[in-house]
Amino acid sequence: MTQAARWLCDAHRSNQKFAPLPAALSPMDVADAYDIQGAFVALRAKDHGAVAGYKIALTTPAMRALVGLNESVAGQMLAGTVHQSPATVHAADYVRLIVEFEIAMEMAEDLPVADAPYTRERVAAAVGAVMPALELADDRDADYRQLPGNGLMLIADNAWNEGAVLGAPVRDWRMIDLAAIHGVASINGETVGEGDGRDVMGHPLDALTWLANNLAARGLGLWRSDIVITGSLVTSKFPKAGDLVRFDAGPLGAVELAVS
């Protein structure tokens, strides 16, 4: 695991194009891929801070089929990569910056392994705030034609996460129908996509429940103050320097990112 994690760190630091791990270091199965992810994130934490939350990727059957996986994927977010809106990032810091448009949740209670499996009702009771979010990711100029058959590599590479931009937390969120939220994504004032809360695994809380149980199955818990971004309501966008990205999530408010 350590050798594979170091290989990934070197690839990121030198801005190498996304490619599968060498055969001798490649994960053999999903559990192996998550072990590599954990070691990779631990190395990156030296530069970017401790784990502050999680992302969920491949939330639709079509996206899972694209990479040849049967289940969604969890990734980890590091504290130094989580920003408050309005935020600015530099395009030159990424090989190819991706932005996704999401509903984020802040945990107010621990969800330890011992209490799993979790229901939506139990998970909802542990959510302290909900907010709009932009996920920051970097596909490192991946050739998407090579992704089928390389889904385990996506897990090992932490689902390409490079952090998030968070909007203002809404603490009275239980008055809001999260499934019915209509989100509008725009770049430089032009609408580039729309989606609804139910587009993410049927309901954002169902996505969070999936994550809690996925972590528990791997011996991990969700902890108070963790942030979870639950999956994109809109297809991924690739902003460039000079772009202003905005996601308006109705009653949850909006979040903005300037790319310099």
DSSP bridge partners of 88? 258
Please choose, from the candidates 244, 242, 240, 243, the residue with its C-alpha nearest in 3D space to the C-alpha of residue 255: 244
Over residues 59-94, the pLDDT tens digits come to 888 778 778 888 999 999 999 999 999 999 999 999
pTM of the model: 0.96
**How far is 33 from 38, CA to CA, in rounded Å?**
9
Structural domains in the chain, CATH included, are 2-259 (3.90.850.10)
φ/ψ (deg, to 5) at 48:
-120, 5
Q: Which residues of the chain have pLDDT under 50?
A: none
Query: Over the stretch 126-137, which tens digit does the pLDDT of each residue have?
Result: 999 999 999 999
d(CA 192, CA 245): 10
